[in-house]
Amino acid sequence: MAGDASNTEQPEQARVRLVRVPRDRHSVRMEGYRIIELPNDRNPEIVGTPREDRPQVFIDDEAYRQMSEHLAADLRYERGGLLFGYRNRIPQGRSYAEVTAFFPATRGHGTEVEFRIPNDDFAQAYHELERRGKREEIIGWVHSHPHHPPAPSEHRDFWIMENFLQTSPEQFTFITNPNTNQAGVFRWEEGRSVNQGGFILYGDLPNHGLQHRPRIIRTNSLSEREEPMVRISPDTFWQRIQNSIRSLFGKH
């Protein structure tokens, strides 16, 4: 967590437990929401400033570590993969995405400005989902922009987001620049790309496996000029984390 939280007692609102609810197998990729609450000992940590008016994105830190290592393995060409997980609803009716695993698109073709996932990788991904047997689905996709900011391009990325990632509001695109340690989370809404503003890591890895916290960009696409980052004090940032967790779970 950012800031010194050693003498700060976490509010009771953040201490929630995991609840799994069985779902019909046929609803996995359609309307298969489940109820989930994060246990406090899984150390939820907010990266960036996620928008409160959009479904939140939770990422298991082991999945994030594997994803980051795969994308950083080649700093010349774009790499990518698919994100497994769930679309979730909490008792207050709000929804969010939970990423549980990363699937590398090893057959994908990357250049300095583009990455394509072939049908063979999609077929293997669905085979892996069946093998895991956890009723997960493809909740999003991720790729790197090693030579420019991690925001969707108006050509290829917009087309993928519009045609494959708008069947539910929880689906998203994650883009990172491993050379600059920048990242962005985006959704396709009403014919345009919308920046989520950040995501939430959870899990048991020390420091969530992060050597350096990624900097979340603020633009919605590559054509926009990024706004300057607003610097805040550690104490203020810690308070924002607590407020965001309270807001996420609908408790006051």
CB 146 within 8 A of CB 77: yes
**Pick from 15, 32, 14: nearest CA to 23:** 32
Residue 238 lies in a domain: no
- Whether residue 178 lies inside any domain: the answer is yes
The CA distance from 237 to 4, in Å, is: 10
Residue at 109 is within a domain: yes
- Residue 10 in any domain: the answer is no
Question: Could you tell me the residue range of the domain that residue 192 belongs to?
Answer: 37-221
Is residue 247 included in any domain, yes or no? no
The percentage of the chain sitting over the pLDDT mark of 90, rounded to a whole number, equals 41
Angstrom distance (rounded) from CA 194 to CA 214: 19
- For residue 239, what pLDDT band results from cuts at 50, 70 and 90? low
What burial class does residue 161 get, using C-beta atoms within 10 Å of its C-beta: 0-12 exposed, 13-18 middle, 19+ buried? buried
Name the phi and psi angles at 27, rounded to 5. -100, 10
Domain count for the chain = 1
Q: Span 57-78, mean pLDDT?
A: 94
CATH number at residue 109: 3.40.140.10
The answer to the question of residue 28 being in a domain is no
> pTM value?
0.75
- pLDDT score for 13: 32
The pLDDT of residue 91 is 61
Looking at per-residue confidence, does 63 or 29 come out higher? 63
Burial of residue 29, with CB atoms counted within 10 A of its CB: 0-12 exposed, 13-18 middle, 19 or more buried: middle
Residue 11 lies in a domain: no
Q: Tens of pLDDT along 49-60? A: 888 788 889 999
pLDDT tens per residue, range 131-179? 999 989 999 999 999 999 999 988 788 888 888 776 677 889 999 999 9
